[in-house]
Amino acid sequence: MVDWLPYFFAGLLVGAALAGIVGYKMLVRWQHAASDMETQLRSHSFELQVTLDELAEKNQQLEQQSQRDALSGIYNRAYFDRQMSAEVKRSRREQRSLAIILFDIDHFKKINDTYGHLAGDQAIKQVSAAILQQLKRPGDKLCRYGGEEFALILPNTTLAGARQLAEQIRQYMADNKLLLAEQHVSLTLSAGCYAAIPQPATNNDEYIAFADTALYRAKSAGRNQVQSYPPMAASDCLDIPGEVNEH
């Protein structure tokens, strides 16, 4: 029996060694498998992140497209309605004056009839760009209200400030001809202004109605001019102490 002990222990050692080798190889395989799985997970996570970023970018593009007028590139009527509602609420909360200007291209039908509808489209684009060029504050939002009519939302602005800016824009358009159908064409604007600190019952319709009343007065009085509601003299468009006037 004693003679077999060396062989017995040798067998145990060999068995342990073999078991260790097998275990080591299995551990290495598991480590490789885990490493491969981690690499795949990282690759999938990266691909997923890229996909999510692309979706976010496309959603942002779609959102911007839904807010923009396809022809002029400025904000559209739907954006105007939402933004105006938000500004009315904020101005009411902060008790600051909110102003709106409605612009209308004078004799726009004549432009279409004389130079064609493509020239009319060019006029819309160039007038939009010209108005934007006169704006200095990022909070001022220009929207295409409909047809040849534009709406300008002016937070933190008095009636005097709105009228001053409207006159500046009107004068710029009167002094600069547009290139339409390869011809230099004079084009003018009429404008109606309204501003107030919103009251609890104030909504978009009130601002639009009063600005539209002023615009109608400007067009009835001969066009190419700025009117306000309530009416005010041009000399009143200077800075008024104690009121907000950033234009």
47, 57, 94, 148: which is the annotated catalytic residue?
148
Paired sense of beta strands 98-105 and 149-154, if any: antiparallel
**Torsions phi, psi of 48, nearest 5?**
-65, -40
Q: DSSP of the chain, one letter per residue?
A: -GGGHHHHHHHHHHHHHHHHHHHHHHHHHHHHHHHHHHHHHHHHHHHHHHHHHHHHHHHHHHHHHHHB-TTT-SB-HHHHHHHHHHHHHHHHHHT--EEEEEEEETTHHHHHHHH-HHHHHHHHHHHHHHHHHH---TT-EEEEEETTEEEEEETT--HHHHHHHHHHHHHHHHHS-EEETTEEE---EEEEEEEEPPPTT--HHHHHHHHHHHHHHHHHTTSSSEEEES---GGGGS--TTS----
| 47 assigned to active site | no
Peptide bond into 230 cis (omega under 30): yes
- Name the nearest CA neighbour of 177 among 169, 187, 163, 168: 187
Which residue is listed with tokens 């938000």? 86
Residues recognised as catalytic: 148
